[in-house]
Structures are given as C-alpha cells and as structure tokens.
C-alpha cells in the first residue's frame, strides 16, 4: 500500500502533481472547493458560447512534454503553435502591429518607426538567449532548501548578467530601442507576469526570447480547457478520486505534522502527506494562521494585477481582427505606474482581446463570434468597491466597438463579467490578484514562499505563488520540483 497523499485544489499545479505522484506509487486523493476542476484553467459556457476563463496561450510547451513522460501517460491534448503571436493597436491610430516570430516579417512591421530594427532586435534576443541558457537549470528550474542555497546558486550565474537584477524591463527596452512603439510592445511581457515594465526586474525580459525565438506561443485544439479535461481523464483512468464542493478551512496537527485537514462542513480528511495547490501564501495565512502570513503582512507583499474579464457573444462575424490583440492607449508610462493603485481613469482603458472563435469555430454558434476581454485592474486592496463595474464594462465595450469598427452593444447576445471580487471568491485568489504573488526581486527564486512548510514536516505547496512563479508552464515546473522534494523526503515508492 503506497503512502496516502491528499491534494487540496485541482488547478494545473495540483493535477500535474497528482499524476506525477501516482506514477511514483503514491495513493493520491484530491479535494476541490468548486464543482469543477481546473482552477484558473477553466471555462465559461453560456448561451451556446464557450470561452476559456483565463489562460489563452502559453510558451515552453516542452515542460508539458517532460511532464507527460514523467507521469508515464500519453499527451491528452494537442498544442497549436500560433503563427502571428499577437497584434497591438495604439489608441487614436488605425495601425495594428503584428508580432511574428519571423524576424524579417517582424522588421517590416516596425520599419517606419525604428530604424535598424532587425539588428537591434537580434542583439536584444541574443542577450536574452545567453541569460536564459545561463539560468534555466541553475535558477529557474531549481528548488532551494534555504535562502543560502539560493544565494549560492546565484553565484554560479555569470556576473555579466548581474545588472539585470536592478534594471527593470523598461530600462532594458531603453537600452536597446528608441521608438515608443517598440519599447511599449516588447515590454508587454511584464503584464503577462501580472506586473508592469516599470516594476518588473529585467531578468524577466527573458520572456521576449521565449516568445520570439525559443518556443513561441501555443494554444490548444478545441480550447485551453482541453488541458484540464485531458488531465482529468488520465486521473480517472488511474482511479484518483476528486471530492468537489469541498473547501479546506481548518487543520489539526500533532508533533510537527498535519494529521487532518477539515472542510467547510466539518468533515475530516486524513493522509500521510498533504499537498496544497491553493495559493501558497494565502493558505498559510488564512487556513494555517502562520504569523508570517497575516493579512497585514500579505497586504505588504507584491501581488499581480487583478483581472476584470468579459465574455461576449455577438451575432455576427468580425473581420480583420486576429486571434490575440492588445489595445493600448497613449499614456503607457503613466497608466502602467498607476494602474496598480486605482489612480487611473478607466475612461481610456488598456485591455487584451481574444477572438476565441477565430481559433475554435465550435466555441460560437454558426455565423457568430465569441470575444474574451481581459482588462488589468487594481486588486481589492486598492479598489475594494466594484459597484461601478457596469459603467467600466460599458466604457470598455464602447472603446472596443470604436477600435474594431463594429457596434458590439447592438450585436451582443451573451455577456458575462467577472470582477476581481468574483475571481477572489471563485479560487481563493488573494484580494483578487489574478496571477498570485508578484515577481519583484524579493519574491523571486528562493525568496518566494517555499514549496514546503517551515513548521509541518508533511505539508507541501504547488502552483503559482510558490517557486518558480506564475503562468501555465511554471505551474507544471512547480509540480516537478515539489514532487521531487516529496519523493526525496518520503521515498520513491516505485518507478
Ligand atoms: C485572467 C487570467 C488570464 C491568464 N492568462 C494566462 C495565459 O494566457 N497564459 C498563462 O500561461 N497563464 C495565464 N494565467 C495564469 C494561469 O492561469 C495560472 O498561473 C495557473 O492556471 C495557476 O495554476 P495553479 O495550479 O497554480 O492554481 P489555480 O488554477 O488557482 O488552482 C488552485 C485550485 O485550488 C482550489 N482551492 C483554493 N483554495 C482551496 C481550498 N481551501 N480548499 C479546496 N480547494 C481550494 C481552487 O478552487 C483552484 O481550483 C492567467 C490567469 C488569469 C487569472
């Protein structure tokens, strides 16, 4: 009989950990507060339309390949590489910049605004590549036992990369490019991490290398929720049970070990080992009452931007709008610096639009289109009151109508809106922060909350707010690191 392990949460981190552990002979069970699996990798179905709820594309597909091999299963979904990565439009202009992996095609997009673009971009990407190769295995995909362990690993990174620690992504852009268009577009990677280019360390401009050279961007045939569905079907083949509508709210411990987790109905869940996929910082504070993670201390940490998301069904097809689009304004620096603190006006919002049905025609009824809109907004620490949500949503829809040249309101047949309050409630996301803990230097690598508990010897964490960070490939790496740690501490039961 294998050791029993209980996983709290069925996000990508939890699901991939479950399959990795099962392959190692552990007896896995899962509990999930919602009635369906996937966490943020979820879907919204309404009025004949289907939308991906959160993630729409990702990089580093080879992390999924590694996971499939480790778990000993067949890939249960199909990646699709995006040809045009995304398009960007600035308010007040008709022009759209199309971002391609092909450098010659990309250079044509910027020939009017950035002289010698190709050479400058090659230099920028080359330096990103060197950095990526120097940190991928030493830092990014490494687990750390202590801060000292992390600092020691940092000393093995060539010193020429050190300035990236104190420079920001924006500084990095300024070193390589001149035009505002190029600097703003290629610093959008900071928003993918839930931050802004003005507060995200330049180490993360590595993402430009992963998007343009290394692995590009991918989505999944039939929609991103196929990832969750595919993993769930593997779990059921292996008879790994999931108890839905079960939220862990309390615990019991004995001699420095957790003995029982307790759900909202007062039911006890016992196991030998406990793995938490609920946000690692939030769980430590809310459920464990760890004094290092009180609300006051959590509030002082850096959290990623909160999402305001719109799921719109319209009764006609939109022409000339590609799959992924960023609609930016004309005050990038001011907007970015203030959007965290609610001191921006949403009269001129910045947002991302995914024309879901462009890539998956089955997601909308015949002759119709489905749109997913994501507007980064302040989390509930800075904007606790969302009574003005209808007004903000109306502004976004009318701005989008103007820029896409279609009266969306007139053609709207389905509308769902999720505010940070909804996101917080649905998945226990701290104050509605969409991507979990931010990626400041103090919250990077060995300085992020660990994947093991400092007090309880049989308690571990997996997912966005522990190492290495946020995003789908990071959740998959996170499950690798945590499962390796569990196997090391509790034994490799079989392979
Ligand atoms: C709007 C949005 C857009 C995004 N876009 C992208 C993208 O395009 N590409 C990309 O790579 N990433 C994207 N991300 C980030 C990505 O979704 C996350 O990094 C990833 O899905 C997190 O997985 P996870 O396993 O860490 O956590 P989660 O998905 O949050 O899973 C945690 C699970 O635990 C459950 N849970 C929480 N507390 C308890 C409890 N006490 N008891 C029981 N269950 C509990 C939750 O209900 C949830 O199911 C996006 C995120 C958002 C919000």
Q: Indicate the CATH number of 4-79+223-301+439-490 among 3.40.50.150, 3.50.50.60, 3.40.50.1860, 3.40.640.10.
A: 3.50.50.60
Residue 124: its pLDDT value, please? 95
Helix (H) or strand (E) holding 59: none
**What mean pLDDT value characterizes the chain?**
94
Rounded CA-CA distance 52/36 in Å is: 14
β-bridge pairing 84-90 and 324-328: parallel
Question: What is the side-by-side strand order in the sheet with 268-270?
Answer: 248-254, 257-263, 268-270
Does pLDDT of 244 surpass 80?
Answer: yes
Topology of domain 102-215, per CATH?
Guanine Nucleotide Dissociation Inhibitor; domain 1 (1.10.405)
% the chain with pLDDT above 70: 99
Average pLDDT estimate for 160-185: 94
Residue 358: its pLDDT value, please? 87
Ligand 1 centroid, distance to 420 Cα (angstroms) = 13
* Tens of pLDDT, residues 374-394: 999 999 999 999 999 999 999
Task: From 235, 263, 199, 205, select the one nearest 15 (Cα to Cα).
Answer: 235
Q: Using CA positions, which residue lies closest to atom 33 of ligand 1?
A: 9
Cβ within 8 Å of residue 486, ≥6 positions away: 5, 21, 26, 273, 275, 460
Q: Using CA positions, which residue lies closest to atom 8 of ligand 1?
A: 55
Beta-strand runs (E) in 300-458: 306-314, 324-328, 351-355, 369-377, 412-418
Q: Count other C-beta atoms under 10 Å from residue 53's C-beta.
A: 24
Residue 127: its pLDDT value, please? 92
Rounded CA-CA distance 32/277 in Å is: 10
- Where does ligand 1 bind, in terms of residues with CB under 6 Å? 8-14, 31-34, 39-41, 54-58, 247-248, 277-278, 307, 309, 374, 427-428, 434-435, 463-464, 470-472, 475
Rounded CA-CA distance 220/74 in Å is: 15
Average pLDDT estimate for 131-155: 90
* Tens of pLDDT, residues 276-335: 999 999 999 999 999 999 999 999 999 999 999 999 999 999 987 889 999 999 999 999
Ligand 1 centroid, distance to 314 Cα (angstroms) = 27
Name the pLDDT band for 193 (thresholds 50, 70, 90).
Answer: confident
The ligand 1 atom nearest the CA atom of 282: 38
Rounded CA-CA distance 332/347 in Å is: 14
Task: From 91, 114, 118, 113, select the one nearest 102 (Cα to Cα).
Answer: 118
Ligand 1 centroid, distance to 403 Cα (angstroms) = 31
Ligand 1 pocket test: pick from 40, 51, 224, 462 the residue with the most ligand atoms within 8 Å of its Cβ.
Answer: 40
* CA 250 to the chain's CA centroid: 27
The ligand 1 atom nearest the CA atom of 429: 30
Burial of 129 (0-12, 13-18, 19+ CB in 10 A): middle
Question: What is the side-by-side strand order in the sheet with 306-314?
Answer: 96-100, 84-90, 324-328, 351-355, 369-377, 306-314, 412-418
Ligand 1 pocket test: pick from 13, 278, 481 the residue with the most ligand atoms within 8 Å of its Cβ.
Answer: 278
Average pLDDT estimate for 116-132: 94
Residue 243: its pLDDT value, please? 98
Task: From 225, 264, 256, select the one nearest 31 (Cα to Cα).
Answer: 264
Task: From 267, 244, 206, select the one nearest 469 (Cα to Cα).
Answer: 206
Does pLDDT of 91 surpass 80?
Answer: yes
Beta-strand runs (E) in 153-243: 218-220, 242-243
Domain ranges of the chain: 4-79+223-301+439-490, 102-215
Residue 24: its pLDDT value, please? 95
Helix (H, G, I), strand (E, B) or coil at 143: coil
Name the pLDDT band for 344 (thresholds 50, 70, 90).
Answer: confident
Residue 495: its pLDDT value, please? 59
Task: From 338, 102, 304, select the one nearest 211 (Cα to Cα).
Answer: 102
Helix (H, G, I), strand (E, B) or coil at 443: helix
How is 396-428 classified by DSSP, letter by letter? HHHHHHHHHTS-HHHHEEEEEEE-HHHHHHHHT
Task: From 313, 410, 228, 357, select the one nearest 48 (Cα to Cα).
Answer: 313
Task: From 122, 110, 129, 128, select the one nearest 178 (Cα to Cα).
Answer: 110
Average pLDDT estimate for 34-60: 97
Does pLDDT of 209 surpass 90?
Answer: yes
Ligand 1 centroid, distance to 41 Cα (angstroms) = 6
Q: Using CA positions, which residue lies closest to atom 35 of ligand 1?
A: 9
pTM, whole model, 2 decimals? Answer: 0.96
Cβ within 8 Å of residue 2, ≥6 positions away: 25, 26, 27, 493
Q: Using CA positions, which residue lies closest to atom 3 of ligand 1?
A: 54
Higher-confidence residue: 345 or 107? Answer: 107
* Tens of pLDDT, residues 408-467: 999 999 999 999 999 999 999 999 999 999 998 899 999 999 999 999 999 999 999 999
Ligand 1 centroid, distance to 355 Cα (angstroms) = 22
The ligand 1 atom nearest the CA atom of 309: 1
Ligand 1 centroid, distance to 471 Cα (angstroms) = 8
Rounded CA-CA distance 385/15 in Å is: 34
Ligand 1 pocket test: pick from 6, 51, 55 the residue with the most ligand atoms within 8 Å of its Cβ.
Answer: 55
Beta bridge partners of 327: 89, 351
Does pLDDT of 1 surpass 60?
Answer: no
Does pLDDT of 494 surpass 80?
Answer: no
The ligand 1 atom nearest the CA atom of 42: 29
- End-to-end Cα spacing for the chain: 15
């Amino acid at each position: 009989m294998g050791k029993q392990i209980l996983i709290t949460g069925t996000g990508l981190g939890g699901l991939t950990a479950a399959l990795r552990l099962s392959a190692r002979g552990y007896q896995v069970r899962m509990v999930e507060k919602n009635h369906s699996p996937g966490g943020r990798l979820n879907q919204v179905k309404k009025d004949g339309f289907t939308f991906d709820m959160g993630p729409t594309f990702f990089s580093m597909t080879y992390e999924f390949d590694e996971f499939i091999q480790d778990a000993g299963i067949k890939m249960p979904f199909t990646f699709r590489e995006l040809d045009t990565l995304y398009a960007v439009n600035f308010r007040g202009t008709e022009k759209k910049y199309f971002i391609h992996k092909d450098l010659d095609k990309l250079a044509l997009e910027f020939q009017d605004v950035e002289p010698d673009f190709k050479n400058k971009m090659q230099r920028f990407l080359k330096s990103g590549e060197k950095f990526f190769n120097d940190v991928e295995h030493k830092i990014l995909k490494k687990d750390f036992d202590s801060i000292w362990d992390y600092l020691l690993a940092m000393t093995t990174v060539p010193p020429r990369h050190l300035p990236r620690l104190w420079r920001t992504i924006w500084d990095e852009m300024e070193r390589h490019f001149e035009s505002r268009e190029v600097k703003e577009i290629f610093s959008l990677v900071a928003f993918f991490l839930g931050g802004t280019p003005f507060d995200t360390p330049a180490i993360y401009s590595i993402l430009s290398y992963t998007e343009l050279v290394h692995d590009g961007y991918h989505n999944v045939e039939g929609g991103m929720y196929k990832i969750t569905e595919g993993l769930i079907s593997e779990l059921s083949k292996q008879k790994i049970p999931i108890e839905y509508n079960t939220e862990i709210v309390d615990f019991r411990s004995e001699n420095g070990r957790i003995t029982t987790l307790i759900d909202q109905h007062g039911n006890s869940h016992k196991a030998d080992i406990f793995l938490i996929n609920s946000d690692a910082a939030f769980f430590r504070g809310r459920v464990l009452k760890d004094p290092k993670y009180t609300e006051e201390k959590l509030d002082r940490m850096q959290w990623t931007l909160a999402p305001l998301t719109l799921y719109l069904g319209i009764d006609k097809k939109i022409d000339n709008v590609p799959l992924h689009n960023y609609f930016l304004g004309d005050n990038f620096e001011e907007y970015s610096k203030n959007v965290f603190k609610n001191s921006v006006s949403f009269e001129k919002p910045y947002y991302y639009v995914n024309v879901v049905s462009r890539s998956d025609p089955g997601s909308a009824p015949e002759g119709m289109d489905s749109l997913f809109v994501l507007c980064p907004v302040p989390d509930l620490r800075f904007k606790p009151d969302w009574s003005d949500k209808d007004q903000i949503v109306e502004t976004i829809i009318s701005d989008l109508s103007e820029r896409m040249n279609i009266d969306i309101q007139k053609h709207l047949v389905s509308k769902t809106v999720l505010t940070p309050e909804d996101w917080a409630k649905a998945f226990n996301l701290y104050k509605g922060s969409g991507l979990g803990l931010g990626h400041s230097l103090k919250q990077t690598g060995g300085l992020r909350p660990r994947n093991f508990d400092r007090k309880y010897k049989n308690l571990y964490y997996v997912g966005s707010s522990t190492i290495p960070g946020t995003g789908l490939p990071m959740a998959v790496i996170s499950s690798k690191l945590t499962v390796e740690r569990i196997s090391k501490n509790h034994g490799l039961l079989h392979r």
